[in-house]
Amino acid sequence: MHFPLTTFNALPRFWLLFCLFYSFVIINGSCRGQATSRDRVISIGAIIDADSRIGKEQKVAMEISAQNYNNTSKTHNLSLYFQNPTKEPLRSISLAEEMIKVQKVQAIIGMQTWQQALLVADIGNQAHVPVISFAAPAITPPLMKTRWPFLVRLANNGTAHVKCIANIVHHHGWHRVIAIYEDDAYGGDYGMLALLSEALQDVGSMVECYLALPPISSLPDPRETVREELLKLIQTTESRVFIVLQSSLEMVVHLFREASEVGLVDRESAWIIPESITNLLDSVNKSAISYMEGALGIKNYYPENSTEYQHFESEFRKIFRAKYPEEDDRNPGFYALQAYDGMKVVTQAIDRFTGRSSRTRTLLDEVLSINFHGLSGKIQFEGGQLLQNPILSIVKVFGKGYKEYLFWNQQKGFNTEPNGDHADGSLEGFVDILWPGNSGKAPKGWNMPTKQKKMRIAVPGRTSFSKFVKVEEKNDGTRQITGFCIKIFEKVIELLEYDLAFELFPINATYPDLVELVYNKTFDAVVGDMTILEERLQKVDFTVSYTESGLSMIVPAKSQESAWTFMKPFTWQMWAVTGAILVYTMFIVWYLEREPNPEFHGDWKRQISTALWFTFSSLFFAHREKMYSNLTRVVMVVWLFLVLILNSSYTASLSSMLTVQQLEPTVTDIEWLKRNNKKIGCDGDSFVRSYLENIEKFKPENIVHVRDEDKYVEEFRQNNIAAAFLELPYEKVFINKYCEGYSDFTPTTRFGGLAFIFQKGSPLTEDVSKAILQLAEKKVLKTLEQEWLTSHQCPTSSNRESLRLASFWLLYIISGAMSTICFLLSVFRSLKTGQHRQNEAHEAMRSQVRRVFGRV
């Protein structure tokens, strides 16, 4: 039996078809498996304002980041779902819910405002979807991590930017600023306002006024509204330092245009714009940016020399030009870099999350553990907040562009290089800045007086002592204002580096009232004898003092004349020692002269009287007795020299005491005045009265108000007051004029001194203070004080002390020592002579005995 040929031929065909089919299935299955893995899509939601310049940059940057990821990823595809929020933040809630429920997004990124971020974060908390926000609050709310655990802030808070602004204000000596912001109706700016106020207080400055502008979308005529608000500022404020905290670009353009037209962008004004505006300067219309010329801007610094940045910039420019041909500037700004880095955070977190075999960590955990150097800076999170010490660049707007001058960070302050090593901060960059009005000199930041609007300066219309301020009415109706204080102010004006237009207004008010007039801005300053007090410093600024101040007591003085005045030239110790040395010298003279001098012979009474008369008369160089002993002559030479010195000193001291009137105060103790219920006088218009009542505890009814310096004398003569209390400068004038009948006491209470006062934050305070210090260093103040306050030559009051033993003890020792030496020499000579005579007597006796026995 044999098989048919057809059957034999059919078997190979069957196996061939089977092999081909099997191979196709295997290959197709493998390709289908690869395609299934590659087609796994990760959905990411993005909420950005695609109609704004910021939103356009962010969208292009995020698309570039997503495309780069899709081109390199072998496991996932990234799908971006963009949603465009309206001006109403609540719209973001529905957009977030739609993306989570419909598009099944695993993360949401975007939100340029903090209000939008919080609303979306609430939805993210419910769905356990991470929310990465491009906005951060100025001040981190308490329990932030607990309330919004899925919210990640890819932005710095406002602390660094506000501190940078405060450092700029401090460097230029601006004491008052005006804060301007566009109100978002949700209170988002209050945190930044609080930060600014605190930072300025730390550097000795303050916010004079807050200007809140309504949202530009709510204004039918933004230009007119802005103009009206600026005109109000001109009328009500003196500061000309404007800090724009938060605003839309459109509002800032209107603000600068109107400010330029009303004269607020001039050589005396300073403008600082925030990083949210400075980061957009590249996109501002060239005609609009010209209004901002001279403004300082703060922006986030990012390096542009890396390969990654240059590649990104090239792609960005190409895509941005194709999608938005209407935009002139095609360069990426900081917000584009921030969006690119935000997408990179998401993609890296997704790769880590899907690449783990176990699911012990969530996608949020992976986001929070990200750490890399992005295009906008270092990306690392702590507590859901970007952990970063940002480097800020200080730019200056000029012409139709801007230029970087300085860099700043919180550790090193200002530097001319982004990574400068100067820990103390370099300020050289401010020198080259061209300020508003094409001025190379930093503006004063104050509404400086002009000839059309002069500075209004009050002077005390009535003063107790006219030497300080004197207002005289002339026949032609004009007033002449002179005095020590006025003269100092005139000297100060000469030293200022600019012309100061001012007008003086005499005001008949108390000194506290004058302070209030400056505090409520009725007057710009007060030039007069104003005492620096702590309570006044809370309302006004004082210059440095031009003369010291303290509380002195003045009392009538009575004569110190006495029948015993002749004893006062010497102290009792001097009299005692002089008497002792006189007696000792008398004894020595008697001993030396008792044998050779016949005048010293006789009984004891005669000898003592002769010796006493001889020594005492030598005090007046009237002794006539002849001296026989050479030792006596030596003793007398030294003694007479001592007598000569004592006579001369005694005569000079006594003459001085008798020539100048001796006065002593009738009262020496404040407590005595209070115990005895005595009345006292003071200037009731000054703070002295309240000080005596509240601090020294004098009874109000015992304090007499004295309005004029001559009235004090009258009150003393009528015994209406027992003492007067004057500040030290007035006491100098009074005592210099009435020194012959009154005594003063050195003040134990010191005050801040006399100075000029200005409104809080006035730059003139510092300039005038510097000028006063120059006058003091050149001794001009001392010369003026002698000319105006102590020109009267008052006889010096004699309070000479009696001559003390310490000035003459050496002469006493020499005299006593010389007398003692002569005495010892005389004794030694007498002993020697006596021994010789005794020997002669013995020898004579022996001779006589020999003669007697020889005869026998």
User: In this structure, are 798 and 825 located in the same domain?
Assistant: no
Does residue 137 lie within any of the structural domains?
Answer: no
**Confidence (pLDDT) at 77:** 87
Indicate whether 764 and 709 sit together in one domain: no
What pLDDT score was predicted for residue 490? Answer: 95
We report the CATH number of the domain holding residue 803 as: 3.40.190.10
| 661: pLDDT strictly greater than 60 | no
Strands 270-273 and 703-705, bridge-based pairing: unpaired
The DSSP string of 37-102 is HHT-EEEEEEE--TTSHHHHHHHHHHHHHHHHHHHH-SS-EEEEEEE---SSTTHHHHHHHHHHHT
Mean pLDDT calculated for residue range 470-485: 87
Stretch 148-156: mean pLDDT = 92
**CA-to-CA distance for 520 and 699, rounded, in angstroms?**
33
Residue 851: inside a domain: no
Residue 79, burial from CB neighbour count under 10 angstroms (0-12, 13-18, 19+): middle
Distance CA 514, CA 536 (A): 11
Dump strand ranges (E) for 146-240: 151-153, 176-182, 206-213
- State the burial class of residue 139 (Cβ atoms within 10 Å of its Cβ: 0-12, 13-18, 19+): middle
Sign of CA dihedral 122, 346, 275, 384: positive
Position 575 confidence tier, pLDDT thresholds 50, 70, 90? confident
Q: CB of 505 within 8 A of CB of 456?
A: yes
Would 713 be classed as within a structural domain? yes
What is the pLDDT, as a whole number, of residue 491?
95
Instruction: State mean pLDDT over 293-317.
Output: 90
Q: Are 789 and 484 in contact, with CB atoms under 8 Å apart?
A: yes
Task: Say yes or no to pLDDT of 644 above 70.
Answer: yes
Tokens of 470: 């004197």
Strand partners, 210: 179
Which pLDDT score, from 0 to 100, does residue 2 have?
A: 37
Q: What pLDDT sits at residue 433?
A: 61
In this structure, the answer to whether residues 771 and 631 fall within a common structural domain is no
pLDDT the model gives residue 82: 93
Task: Give the side-chain half-sphere CA count within 13 A for 525.
Answer: 27
Helix, strand, or coil (residue 171)? helix
Q: Is the pLDDT of residue 664 over 60?
A: no
Locate tokens 């033993």: which residue? Answer: 805
> Residue 24's pLDDT is what?
47
Same domain (yes/no): 593, 605: yes
SS3 273: strand
Write the pLDDT tens digit of every residue in 330-383.
Answer: 889 889 999 999 999 999 998 888 877 666 788 999 999 999 999 988 899 988
For residues 188 and 186, give the distance between their C-alpha atoms in angstroms, rounded to a whole number: 6
Domain check: are 594 and 635 in the same one?
yes
Token output for 561: 């004349």
720: helix, strand or coil = coil
Residues 192, 286: one domain?
Answer: yes
Mean pLDDT across the stretch 733-759?
A: 84
pLDDT at 792: 63
What local confidence, expressed as pLDDT, does residue 403 receive? Answer: 81
Answer yes or no: do 518 and 592 share one domain.
no
DSSP, res 399? T
My answer on whether 555 and 571 are in the same domain is no
Note the pLDDT of residue 9. Answer: 43
pLDDT of residue 469: 94
Mean pLDDT in residue range 546-565: 77
Q: Is the pLDDT of residue 796 over 70?
A: no
Going by their DSSP bridges, the two strands 270-273 and 296-300 should be labelled as: parallel
Residue 219's pLDDT is what? 86
> Three-state SS for 7?
helix
Q: 312 falls in which pLDDT band (50, 70, 90)?
A: very high
Is the domain of 737 the same as that of 712?
Answer: yes
Amino acid 1: pLDDT:
35
For the stretch 494-520, pLDDT in tens is: 999 888 899 999 999 999 999 999 999
Residue 251 has pLDDT above 50, yes or no: yes
Q: What are 777's two structure tokens? A: 């260093």
Q: Tell me which amino acid residue 497 is.
A: E
Banded pLDDT at 738 (limits 50, 70, 90) = confident
Distance CA 500, CA 470 (A): 22
The residue type of 338 is Q
In a domain, 1, yes or no: yes
How far is it, in rounded angstroms, from Cα 514 to Cα 523?
Answer: 9
Q: Which two tokens stand for residue 805?
A: 């033993």
pTM comes to 0.69
User: Distance between CA 564 and CA 581 in Å, rounded?
Assistant: 23
CATH number at residue 258: 3.40.50.2300
Same domain for 282 and 212? yes
Q: Kindly state the tokens that stand for 145.
A: 């991590």
Of residues 837 and 318, the one with the higher pLDDT is: 318
Specify the length of the chain in residues: 856
Q: Is 834 exposed, middle or buried (0-12, 13-18, 19+ CB in 10 A)?
A: exposed
Residue 755's pLDDT is 96
Residue 462: phi and psi, rounded to 5, are -135, 130
Check residues 804 and 123 and name the one with the higher pLDDT.
Answer: 123
How much is the average pLDDT of 539-557?
91
**Highest averaged pLDDT of the listed ranges 410-419, 421-430, 458-467:** 458-467
Most confident of 123-127, 169-173, 447-451, 561-565: 123-127
> What whole-number distance in Å separates Cα of residue 552 and Cα of residue 731?
7
The residue ranges of DSSP E strands in 280-426, in sequence order, are 296-300, 371-373, 378-382, 385-386, 392-398, 401-409, 413-415
Report pLDDT digits (tens) over 279-296: 777 667 777 777 888 889
pLDDT value of position 5: 33
Give the pair of three-digit tokens for residue 119: 């609303």
Is residue 163 in a domain? yes
- Predicted confidence band at 524 (pLDDT cuts at 50, 70, 90)? very high
- Residue 346: CB atoms within 10 Å: 28
392 and 486 fall within a common domain: no
More confident residue, 722 or 823: 722
Residue 604: per-residue pLDDT? 67
Q: Residue 344 and residue 67: Cα distance in Å, rounded?
A: 11
CA separation for the pair 723, 688 (Å, rounded): 14
Mean pLDDT, rounded, of the chain: 81
Which of the residue ranges 164-173, 264-273, 310-319, 620-629 has the most confident prediction, judged by mean pLDDT?
A: 310-319
262 pLDDT more than 60: yes
In Å, how far from its chain's centre is CA 451? Answer: 32
Give the total number of structural domains in the chain.
5
Query: Per-residue confidence at 25, pLDDT binned at 50, 70, 90?
Result: very low
3-state secondary structure of 133: strand
CA distances from 176 to 138, 173, 206, 269 (A): 22, 9, 5, 12
Q: Which of 717, 750, 783 is the last residue of a domain?
A: 750
What's the rounded Cα separation, in Å, for the pair 150 and 147?
9
- Identify the CA nearest to 137 among candidates 163, 157, 110, 116: 157
Reply yes or no on whether the pLDDT at 227 is more than 90.
yes
73-81 average pLDDT score:
87
Relative to beta strand 550-559, strand 723-727 is antiparallel
* Cβ–Cβ < 8 Å for 405, 313: no
DSSP 358-381: S-SS-HHHHHHT-EEE-SSSEEEE
Whether residues 821 and 784 fall in one domain = no
Assess if residue 147 is contained within a domain. Answer: no
Instruction: Say whether pLDDT at 11 is over 50.
Output: no
pLDDT, greater one: 471 or 792: 471
Integer angstrom CA distances of residue 647 from 638, 652, 660: 14, 9, 20
- Is residue 600 over pLDDT 70? no
Confidence of residue 659 (pLDDT cuts 50, 70, 90): low
- 618-639 pLDDT, tens digit per residue, is 666 555 556 667 777 777 777 7
Is 343 among the domain residues?
no
Name the H helices within 676-799: 688-694, 709-717, 728-737, 763-777, 780-788
Q: Is residue 153 part of a domain?
A: no
CA separation for the pair 556, 834 (Å, rounded): 73
Question: Is the per-residue pLDDT at 695 higher than 80?
Answer: yes
Give the percent of the chain with pLDDT over 90: 32
For 392, the token pair is 């800020």
pLDDT (0 to 100) of residue 428: 55
Q: Is the pLDDT of residue 187 over 80?
A: no
User: If pLDDT is split at 50, 70 and 90, which confidence band does 432 have?
Assistant: low
Task: Note down the domain range covering 390.
Answer: 159-332+383-432
Residue predicted with more confidence, 436 or 296: 296
* CA pair distance 790, 807, nearest whole angstrom: 34
pLDDT value at position 485?
95
Is 385 a residue whose pLDDT tops 60? yes
Q: Is the model's pLDDT at 611 over the cut of 90?
A: no
Compute how many other C-beta atoms are within 10 angstroms of the C-beta atom of residue 491: 18
> Average pLDDT, stretch 103-112?
92
What is each CA distance from 206 to 159, 170, 534, 766, in whole angstroms?
A: 17, 11, 19, 16
